[in-house]
Structure 1
Amino acid sequence: MPNQLTDHVTLRHGATLNNRIVMSPMQTHSGLKGGFASDDTIQYYSARSRAAGMLITEFHYVSENGGPAYVPGYPEQLGAYSDAHLEGLRKTVQALKKDGNKAILQIHHAGRAAVGRHVNGLDVVAPSAIDFSFLDYPVRELTITEIDDIILDFGKATKRAIDAGFDGVEIHGANHYLIQQFFSKLSNLRTDKWGGSLNKRMAFPLAVVKEVKAIVDEYAPKGFIIGYRISPEELHGKNVGYDYTEALTLISEVIKYELDYIHLSLWAGYNSKPENSEKSYAELFKEILDDKTKLLIVGGIFGEDTATDAIENYADLIAVARGTLIDPNFAKKVTEGKGDTILHKISPETVEYSHLTPGLLEAFSREDSLGLPPLPGGETIRHLHTGKYDI
């Protein structure tokens, strides 16, 4: 019998999800200065406690030099780099878990994308000091000591997730942030143990996974979930940071640490394929996973029909991103047999129901959606844009 969206799913270490739907991590544009959760943050996550069986927070930066990655003028990215963030983390997880679903903290370091450091007159760090044409600020190469500290910071953030009451963490190794920067030969030009050959470019991602797993093994309750997110390729025309074959090599090593799931970030859609491949990314990665590591995919899911196709034909779990921005009750409607009532477009009439943060409403009511993939129906809410965060 094929997978059903409403199946209960037991993960490797014993956690059971209420269904196969996952809320994808998405920046809420709601943080206070220093990466602290705001009332808007808590209200946003509280409204989405029934969006999925597993709810992944937006990225939280784990080191003081790891963020914020945000558009200046807008509310900041959230952080988990100090114990001072614990109060906000506890409020966030309580909001997410109030209806019995699992809450995952996504942990992250922005590397060169930590624009907030530049705005505040601080140096921005990366694997290598490269003059990137798309940045209007310089980046500094990380020292060996700083790299070691960041690895430990991923572990410390994991401990905070445990202490706050989260059910797991997701290591953000995708979307051109620091872990991917180390893995990419376009952004990692190092000649020490952290760069050069494929094995050396894999060293930082694997060191982070090892540290997170060690903290979980020592401090977490039984069933604590660990996931790893990856962009399956980094292609910029003829410039290749890595291709899917190298990503498969990395994930083959990652799963040796007995993670619960691998999360593919698929911008071209859940069924997208590499160029000149008969198989989808999902099929290619599924082939290398052991039978206890679940495959989670995301991309282009706005309704029950596409979610069902993804689960029946491609993966164990399906993440819904913009679909849960538009309809915070996505999974609730599916599990109650009301999938045909899921909202597929935003409109002036549904904005209040969608419970977007003020920052997200400002972002998605801009013509450029602040660089985010636009919401279906976004053109209907242009008149709601006030410009209060625009510089």
Structure 2
Amino acid sequence: MGRAPGRALRAVVQHGRVDAAQQFPRTRGRLLAHASGAAGRRCFTYFTPFMKPTISRFAACLRRWAAFVALTLCTAPAFAACLSLPEDFNPIEFGSIAADGVEVGGVVRSVRFTLTLTCAPNGQGEPLARTLNYSSEFGPAPGMNLWATNLPGLALRMVRDGEDLGSKTEGVLGTHPGDGSARTFVIDMELVKIGPVTPGFLLGQAFVVEASPVSGDPSHYVVRKHITSSYVRGVACTVNTASKHLVVPLGAVPASAFDGPGSTQASREFAIDLTCSPFGEARPTPLSIQLLGETVPGTTDVLKLLGDDAAQGVGIRVLKHDAPVTLNTWQSLGDATVGATTLPYTAQYYQYGERVTAGSGDGVMTFLIEMR
């Protein structure tokens, strides 16, 4: 349920043709410092008869090592890091989801987890307060107090300790006194239905938490939460590459060929080809299509020609199984089936006026496909 992912097309009819233009994890490294002798020399102990020089060299190495340790201690950062529990890194898993029985605005599924963060004091043992900031790679859902996801029709709501964080994908999760104590946050991630949902995988980094000392020292990340093992089951369809750019030549037609209102000329067949794949259980998924375009005033199925030099008294009509398709209205195509699916159509010129005057035959139309 939702638009076929990345598959909205813009179709243009120009002088007898329909020309369609497509509308539509980081790894972390760790740097380890290794100390060696001065000037890059290594320190070894040699068990030889010359014990005195050997011991002397070994003592020199110890002195250099002691100096290195002292330097390390002196250059330690002014504060210690905030830490989280290992289980805090566990991904968020919504599992297999069926959204068709949920009303728009309803919660499809909710997952609760906790984050336990411990922030140590500074190097002198004094409390060092931190602000715990969160940010998400998801953006706000347009016009809604929710986060958008990669699946049309589904959005996220983040609730912290009972407070809805709304559409803000960056903000303050909370604060910590920085005294070595542990603070636990209870988080609810809710999956909300905001429209027709397309079956598919729900992916992305839900959020990352960083600790920022109020002293102005650099911030550092504490924990990341990703969404995995989450998908809407059903059948999802995508438009084949060959159907993303369609050309339907209607040819040149004399104005005199039309013999009155309701007459047609230059009928040409075309098809939209889809490939439909299952996600989890291949449950029946209703498929719908909508053809969008400016209609001739007083009609619902005649596409208006474009331009100041457009022919008058004639427009373009699209048929399916010899029946005119009503524009700007969803049309049911039945349940999507796994495999190849072909949607056959016919385009033709249609006379709606009392007389036809010569001119260009350009028109523009957009069609949307949804699993609803």
For the aligned pair, the TM-score class normalised by the smaller chain equals under 0.3
TM-score under structure 2 normalisation?
0.20
More helix by share: 1
More strand by share: 2
Larger Rg: 2
Higher relative contact order (CA 8 A, sep 6+): 2
